[in-house]
């Protein structure tokens, strides 16, 4: 997190641990506000990679699972960066910048992805740099969010991107939410304006909103565990099967064309409050005895108690089995409905 920005957040009551805002003094009330009201969050759990240069579009088209050519100046796309075996090193939100592209991804994997992309640059006129220190990411959610930002941002459709102010971009996300990418020097002024209408909440609250909207985030704990389809990324527009080759494309395409993907990401809940679920925790299903059948992708405390989580499990476990967290006799996980259909 930018040090000046961290000091600013602390001055307005933020409790920050390891560069991430945990809360503003009342975690439970903040979770309730996210469920029923309009909130404002710092997104420093995410980092920002900048891929710039005249060859940046062509370069990324050959590296990422999404169709980079279709990401126009006023749009964005989810996507993934995969190993040659099709396993995700990261998933991200991608949008155009003045001289290339910006992508928001887990801060815990940004160094790995930057290194991997640089390996493939070769003679391309491309620069891959970590822009996390110069770009602040904010999240706003709820009916009052667009009103707080002014009429210039009303009417944004999902994945539409619109520039505002001095070098800032607003991107519409699923669930009546906006991601704001703001130059670090202008973040404090914008925060002050938004906080007059929206309730500041900790980053975990924003992660809970992502979970409820079925948006995965690959972290260091889950790198190289999942194919994109296992996390429903193609259902979110993050995989193109018509664009041609990209790193890992052969494996990703084969999994798709073989028919139904055997393992998918589902939304679940546990009432057990003893040990919080964590990314990478194993999932066990009664229909697959003696071995783990999946893994947690993301998890956060739910407003009504317990934990909501996204986890990858076998389709058969969703349809006809009891599923447990961490062991075959661990806490029972109850399936909830995602906001989109999983085939």
CA nearest 82: which of 212, 235, 223? Answer: 223
Shortest CA distance to 151 belongs to which of 140, 164, 132? Answer: 164
**CA torsion through residues 50, 159, 244, 96, sign:** negative
Helix axes 27-36, 203-212, angle to 10 degrees: 40
Contacts of 162 (CB under 8 A, 6+ apart): 74, 152, 153, 156, 169, 170
pLDDT confidence of residue 152: 62
Burial 181-220 (b: 16+ CB within 10 A, else e): bbebeebbebbeebeeebbbbbbbbbbbbbbbbbbbbbbe
Question: What does the pLDDT read at residue 148?
Answer: 83
3-class SS at 78? strand
- Give tens-digit pLDDT for 51-92: 999 999 999 999 999 999 999 999 999 999 999 999 999 999
- The two tokens of residue 264 are 């998918």
Domain segments of the chain: what residues? 1-215, 228-336
Look at the domain 228-336 and name its fold.
Elongation Factor Tu (Ef-tu); domain 3 (2.40.30)
CA distance 203 to 67: 29
User: What is the per-residue pLDDT for 153?
Assistant: 73
- Structure token pair of residue 207: 């992660």
What confidence score (pLDDT) does residue 56 get?
A: 97
Tell me the CATH number of domain 1-215, given options 3.40.50.10800, 1.10.287.3510, 3.40.50.300, 3.30.1360.120.
Answer: 3.30.1360.120
Of 311, 255, 260, 266, the closest CA to residue 82 belongs to 255
**pLDDT tens track, the chain, 343 positions:** 888 999 999 999 999 999 999 999 999 999 999 998 899 999 999 999 999 999 999 999 999 999 999 999 999 999 999 999 999 999 999 999 989 999 999 999 999 999 999 999 988 999 999 999 999 999 999 988 878 887 667 778 889 999 988 889 999 999 989 999 999 999 999 999 999 999 999 999 999 999 999 999 999 999 999 999 999 999 999 999 999 899 999 999 888 777 668 899 999 999 998 889 999 999 999 888 888 989 999 999 999 999 999 999 998 888 878 999 999 999 999 999 999 999 7
Round to whole Å and give the CA distance between 3 and 214.
32
| pLDDT for res 26 | 97
Provide the pLDDT for residue 249: 93
Q: What's the pLDDT score for residue 166?
A: 83
Phi, psi of 294 (to 5 degrees): 180, -165
The answer to whether the 1-215 and 228-336 domains have the same CATH topology is: no
3 state DSSP class of 32: helix
Q: Is the pTM of this model over 0.75?
A: yes
């Amino acid at each position: 997190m930018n040090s000046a920005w961290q000091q600013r957040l602390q001055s307005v009551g933020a409790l920050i641990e390891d560069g991430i805002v945990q809360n503003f003094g009342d975690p439970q009330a903040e979770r309730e506000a996210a469920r029923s009201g309009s909130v404002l969050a710092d997104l420093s759990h995410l980092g920002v990679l900048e891929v710039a240069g005249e060859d940046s579009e062509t370069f990324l088209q050959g590296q990422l699972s999404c169709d980079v050519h279709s990401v126009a100046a006023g749009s964005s796309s989810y996507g993934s960066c995969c190993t040659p075996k099709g396993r995700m090193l990261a998933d991200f939100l991608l949008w155009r910048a003045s001289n290339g592209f910006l992508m928001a991804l887990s801060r815990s994997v940004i160094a790995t992805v930057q290194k991997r992309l640089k390996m493939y640059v070769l003679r391309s006129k491309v620069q891959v740099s970590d822009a996390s220190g110069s770009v602040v990411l904010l999240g706003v959610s709820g009916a009052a969010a667009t009103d707080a930002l002014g009429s210039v941002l009303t009417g944004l459709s999902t994945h539409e991107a619109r520039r505002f102010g001095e070098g800032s971009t607003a991107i519409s996300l699923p669930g009546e939410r906006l991601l704001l990418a703001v130059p670090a020097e202008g973040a404090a002024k914008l925060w002050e304006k938004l906080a007059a209408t929206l309730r500041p909440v900790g980053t975990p609250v924003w992660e809970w909103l992502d979970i409820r909207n079925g948006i995965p985030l690959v972290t260091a704990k889950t790198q190289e565990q999942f194919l994109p389809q296992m996390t429903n990324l193609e259902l979110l527009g993050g995989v193109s099967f018509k664009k041609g080759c990209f790193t890992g494309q052969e494996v990703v395409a084969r999994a798709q064309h073989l028919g139904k993907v055997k393992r998918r990401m589902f939304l679940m809940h546990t009432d057990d409050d003893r040990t919080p679920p964590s990314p990478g925790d194993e999932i066990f299903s009664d229909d697959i005895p003696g071995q783990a059948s999946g893994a947690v992708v993301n998890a956060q405390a739910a407003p009504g108690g317990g934990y909501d989580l996204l986890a990858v499990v076998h389709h058969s476990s969703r349809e006809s089995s009891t599923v447990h967290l961490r062991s075959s006799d661990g806490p029972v996980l109850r399936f909830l409905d995602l906001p989109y259909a999983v085939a």
